[in-house]
Every structure is written in C-alpha cells, then in structure tokens.
Amino acid sequence: MIHAYQLVVLAPYAAALVLVAIPGYRVGAVLNVLASAATLAAGLWLMVSQGVVGEYAIVDEFNVVFIVINTLVGFTTALFSASYIGHEIETGRLPPGFVRFYHAMFQAMMGSMNVALVANNIGVMWVGLELATLITVVMVGLYRTPQAIEAAWKYFILASVGISLAFFGTILIYLAGQPALGEGVPAMTWSLLQAAAAQMDPAILDLAFIFLLIGYGTKVGLAPLHAWLPDAHAEGPTPISAVLSGLLLNVALYALLRFKMLVAGQPAALDPGPVMIVMGLVSLIFAAFMLYQRRDIKRFFAYSSIEHMGLIVFAFGMGGPLANFAGLLHMAMHSLTKSGIFFAVGHIAQAKGTQRFADIKGLSVTHPRLAVAFALAVIAIAGLPPFGVFTSEFLILTTTFAREPWLALLPAFGLLIGFGALLLRLQGTIFGEPVGPAHRVDASSVPLVLHLLLVLAAGIFLPPALVAWFQRAAELLG
C-alpha cells in the first residue's frame, strides 16, 4: 500500500520524466496541471491520514501544513503558467523548444521541495533543498537576457554559498548527535535527534545553529543575505517568481524551524529566539524602507516578500504556542496572497509589455477587472481587513504586545512603513492617465481569484478544525 507522502514526492518526479519527452507545449501544459492536481490530492490526503515516523520520512502536523501550502500553490501556479507561457511563446520571449524543459523542471522542483519537507533525515532534506535551488537557478535564467543571466548568476553564487554553509552546519549536527546515537543513519534522523537533543554537546549545537541560520537564512531571504532575491524574482518568468516567494522561501524556513526545535531541546545551548527576532526585525524594517526606491514592479513585491519573511521569522523567534500559531498562519496567508499578487503582476506585465512602474499607469481605465483584482490583492498584503493577512499580523502584534510591549513597536513601525509604500504604488498603477500600450490579457484569472477568495475566507472565518490543526502544529514547534 502506497502512502500519501510517497505520492507527494513520486508524482512530480514521474511527471517530470514524462514531460521531458513531450514536445508540444499545449499537451505539456495540460499534463503539468494534471500532475500538480494529483500532487495536491496527495497533499490533501496527508491531512486526513495517519502521521508517519519512518527511517527516511516523517509526517507530522507541522510539516503537513507546509506540504499542503506547497501542493496547493503548486497547483494554482501550474494553472496560471499554462496560459502565461502560451502568451510568452506567442510574443517570442520564450523559444517553444524550451517549454518542455520548463514544465519538466517545474515538476522536478515541486518534487524536490516535497522531498525536503517529508525527509526525516537532515542530509536528505539538504539534498532536496539544494536540488530545488539549482533548478530555480536555471529557471531564473530562462529568458537569457543579460539581466536574467546576471540575476541567475548572483542567485547561483549566493545560494550555493548559503547551501554550503548549511551543509557544514548539518555535519556539525551529526557530530553533536553521534555520542548519543552512535555512528550512521540514526545521528542524522530528525525524530531520533529531537529525542536525544538534551544529551547533545551545547557548544557544537551553538556553532551548528549559527551556520544553519546563515546558510538556510540566505535561502529564506533574510537581510543582509537577501541580495539574490529581488533580482531572481524580477528576471525569471512570473510563475517562477510566484513559486519562489510563495514556496521556496517557506521550505528554507521549514528547515530553519526544524533546527530551531532541535537546538531548543538542549537548554544549555544558545536560545535561538533572540537571534531570530533580531534577524527578522532587521529584514522587516530594511525591506520596508527599500520598497520606496523600487522602479520595477516584480522587484517591489520581492522586497515585500523579504519584509513578510522577516515578520514570520520574528514571530517564530518570539516562540510560544500563540506566536508560533500566528507565524504559521501568517506564512500560509503570505504564500497565498503573494503568489496571487505575482499572478496579477504577470497579467499586468503582459498587458503593458513592461515591468516598470513608470510605464504602468491608469489600469482602472484600460483593464478595470484586472485593476480591481490587483487592488484587492495589494490591500490584502498590506494587512487591511477583512483579509487573512490582517488576522495573522494582528495576532503577531498583539501577542508580542502582551509579552514585550516595547518590542511590539518595531514590527508595527516596519509594517506601517511598508503599508505606505504599498498604497503609494497601488495608487500610481491603478489611477492616473493610462500610458503605453494596453494589450488584451489572455492569462487565466482563475488562480488569482481562487487565492483571493481563500485569503478573504480566512480573514472572515477560520474554521475551528483549521485552527485546531495549526494549534497542534504550533505546539510541536515549542
């Protein structure tokens, strides 16, 4: 009997193998959507199936949250990319021959991220994250313009340095676990390491956590290690920007959180909380100010992702059931909203033929429906009610306020700064005299509407079952 967690990994890889062999992009796109739907079904199945703790795989309430978000956004992105890529081929930005590799790489990337998420082994998790990173490097360089190549190169160099440092941290964790668990596979297994955390050498754990924080922190996009992120988002195809912001950052964060749980299991080791609070706040406030100087719409929302990842890392740094719950909820809301925004940005870029803010004006006149959808998405990410992002940001701020009133001022300040930039840019793009060309938009709006509805529903009413599930996951985080 095959278990759902195996399907979550095997379905994308199998689809990747099939997709490489399919030359036509229409058939490829349909298969891509079908494979993503199958993976989503497997991810949803995980929600109701029993947890697993095997030699190489682990399924508990905590990583199921990530897997469900991953497969859901993977599915909607596949849906979006099916129509988006068709347009890119017609306009000649993308040679048709590339598209089968694009689809195969998309599935391989989804599979690799799921490997990292279900792995019960710190080495296997590292391999999954590295593979996903390298595939996205190639995809960022897909358009082969000088800017795309520069972005891909920068991403490649920074990500591989980060991933190397994370690997050194992984070796140190193995060394720390070795005295208690013996040589071989057990000392690299999450569940066993977690149980033996109290017997580990605190000094080695400290050093390991610093390496892991810098290494995986680069992938999360924490300042000052974020330099790759805006370029990679701006120059790659828009579906990849959506997946980068919505998913890959989360997977790296997942790795970081697992190690945080491990280090927190040894009271004598350093407390990861304050370190994460500081890095989160620096990213949040820095990115909020950087928003004002951006001229490129995708770069702008990439900085917004840094801002929100900073807030999420801050929430997990605070720790405790309530802040962890808020952090998880905000992560889910951010994934849905931000990938939705990138879908809208993809539509806008195709409608106006540019990503520059200066050339995107008066959308409400030329594309009224798109303008409304985009405005709603930006309002959602800005943290205004009734959307779900408001709920999660409110929770993060109130729990912080209840525990450390003065500390709560800093994230509130950063969010306000970011809020101003978002409204300023929103006003500029929606209103005013239209400039430049106004092409018809063919890309499907279903994914965008779906994401907006989900975020809206979460903001109005969180089902008790969902709350209970997130609470159990937050308790696992400690």
Partner 1 sequence: MNQAYEISHLLSGAMLVTSFALLYQQRVAAVLNAFAAQSIVLALAVAWAAWSSNRPDLFITALIAFTLKGIVIPVALRRTVTRLGIHREVEKVVGVGAALLVGLALTGLAQALVVKVASGTASHAREELALALAIILLGFLMMIVRRNAVTQIVGFMSMENGLILAATGARGMPLVVEVSVAFSVLIALFVFAVFVFRIRERFDTVDIEALDRMRGDRR
Q: How far is the CB of 382 from partner 1 (least distance, A)?
A: 23
Q: How far is the CB of 119 from partner 1 (least distance, A)?
A: 10
Q: How far apart are CA 27 and CA 85, in angstroms?
A: 13
Nearer to partner 1, 152 or 376 (CB): 152
Q: How far is the CB of 232 from partner 1 (least distance, A)?
A: 11
Nearer to partner 1, 127 or 375 (CB): 127
Q: How far apart are CA 300 and CA 140, in angstroms?
A: 17
- State which amino acid sits at residue 187: A
Of the chain, the end-to-end C-alpha distance in Å amounts to 33
Picking from 350, 359, 342, the residue whose alpha carbon sits closest to that of residue 239 is 342
Question: How many other CB atoms are there within 10 angstroms of residue 145's CB atom?
Answer: 12
Q: How far is the CB of 142 from partner 1 (least distance, A)?
A: 11
Residue 296, beta-bridge partner list: 356
Q: How far apart are CA 26 and CA 32, in angstroms?
A: 10
Nearer to partner 1, 228 or 316 (CB): 228
Q: Which residues bind partner 1 (CB under 8 A)?
A: 121, 123-124, 126-127, 130-131, 134, 137-138, 141, 144, 146-147, 149-154, 156-157, 160-161, 164-165, 167-168, 171, 174-175, 178-179, 182-185, 187-188, 201, 203-204, 206-207, 230-231, 234-235, 293-296, 299, 356
Nearer to partner 1, 167 or 314 (CB): 167
Burial of 30 (0-12, 13-18, 19+ CB in 10 A): middle
What would the two tokens of residue 67 be?
């897997």
Q: How far apart are CA 420 and CA 229, in angstroms?
A: 22
Q: How far apart are CA 151 and CA 147, in angstroms?
A: 6
- Which residue stretches of 91-201 are H helix? 96-118, 122-140, 146-181, 190-196
User: Would you say 16 and 104 are in contact if contact means Cβ atoms under 8 Å apart?
Assistant: yes
Q: How far is the CB of 179 from partner 1 (least distance, A)?
A: 8
Give the dihedral sign, CA 16/22/26/30. Answer: negative
User: Would you say 96 and 159 are in contact if contact means Cβ atoms under 8 Å apart?
Assistant: no
Q: How far is the CB of 386 from partner 1 (least distance, A)?
A: 35
Nearer to partner 1, 290 or 318 (CB): 290
Nearer to partner 1, 355 or 444 (CB): 355
Specify the 3-state DSSP secondary structure of 322: helix
**Which are the contacts of 222, defined by CB distance < 8 A and separation ≥ 6?**
279, 280, 282, 283, 306, 309, 310, 313
Q: How far is the CB of 78 from partner 1 (least distance, A)?
A: 24
Nearer to partner 1, 141 or 310 (CB): 141
Nearer to partner 1, 303 or 390 (CB): 303
Q: How far is the CB of 457 from partner 1 (least distance, A)?
A: 36
- Which residue stretches of 382-463 are H helix? 388-403, 409-430, 446-460
What would the two tokens of residue 276 be?
């994460």
Q: How far is the CB of 67 from partner 1 (least distance, A)?
A: 21
User: Would you say 443 and 84 are in contact if contact means Cβ atoms under 8 Å apart?
Assistant: yes
Nearer to partner 1, 75 or 126 (CB): 126
Nearer to partner 1, 37 or 171 (CB): 171
Q: How far is the CB of 184 from partner 1 (least distance, A)?
A: 5
